[in-house]
Amino acid sequence: MRLSVRVACLAAALALGAGPPAQAGPTFNFLFDNSSGAKIDLGALTGVGTFTFANDPGNGTFALSSLGPYHMSFTFGGTTYTEAQIATPLGEIQVVLSSAGPARQVQFSNTANYGTGPIGGSIDFTKGTSSLSFAPPGFEAGLVKYQESSGLFGTYLGLQSALQAVPEPSSLALIGTGMAGLLVHARRRRSRASRSSGA
């Protein structure tokens, strides 16, 4: 019993010394519509997606490569595009992070007016004969448009998820307090057992 209590206390001390787990980077959820307007039309949705990255630099324009490991997934019908299908040179792709009311928004841009990928967008994806392109800075409608090879053209919106799964630092303290309570209980029990056997 004595060894198991010491092991439990050591585990609690190590957990407390480790500090809180590192926070994950932001996740942006995307909606795509099939409208010509500058704002998303929820009645004309054609696709969805997500974009996550490790290093959140705050708001501004940043090279995609500066955001650390990232993952993208955009789905239209049965076709999903991921970072594995990016066809634009990575050095050209920029990510624009900004405030959109109470939320944060992400858009894709390029170092030039038109990208050098196969479609000329800020960021182009190709998957077999299918393709997805986000509008380049030189496109007159701005960075809110996209086109997909199935004939879809419209507006996209990428907003940061409101709820991020971030562990509470106090949970480690709670575990440590529980382990300390077990230690106190074990010592009292041993003390009572030694008093009763010694009497």
DSSP H/E element including 99 = strand 93-100
Structural domain including 93 reads 27-160
Closest by Cα among 157, 72, 64, 83 to 127: 83
Report which of residues 66 and 177 the model is more confident about. Answer: 66
- Whether residue 13 is contained in a domain is answered as no
- Whether residue 6 is contained in a domain is answered as no
- Whether residue 194 is contained in a domain is answered as no
Provide the pLDDT confidence category of residue 178 given band limits of 50, 70 and 90.
low
Digit-coded pLDDT (tens) for 18-29? 443 444 789 999
Digit-coded pLDDT (tens) for 78-122? 999 999 999 999 999 999 999 988 899 999 999 999 999 999 999
- Whether residue 18 is contained in a domain is answered as no
- Residue 104's pLDDT is what? 96
* Among the ranges given (138-147, 156-165, 168-177), the one the predictor scored with the smallest mean pLDDT: 168-177
DSSP summary character for residue 77: T
Provide the pLDDT confidence category of residue 185 given band limits of 50, 70 and 90.
low
Rounded to the nearest 5°, which phi and psi values hold at 133? -140, 135
Q: Are 132 and 115 in contact (CB under 8 A)?
A: no
Digit-coded pLDDT (tens) for 114-147? 999 999 999 999 999 999 999 999 987 678 999 9
Domains: count for the chain: 1
- Whether residue 167 is contained in a domain is answered as no
Report which of residues 15 and 138 the model is more confident about. Answer: 138
- Whether residue 184 is contained in a domain is answered as no
- Whether residue 21 is contained in a domain is answered as no
Calculate the average pLDDT of the chain.
Answer: 81
- Whether residue 156 is contained in a domain is answered as yes
Does the structure show a pLDDT above 90 at 165? no
Residue type at 122 in one-letter notation:
S
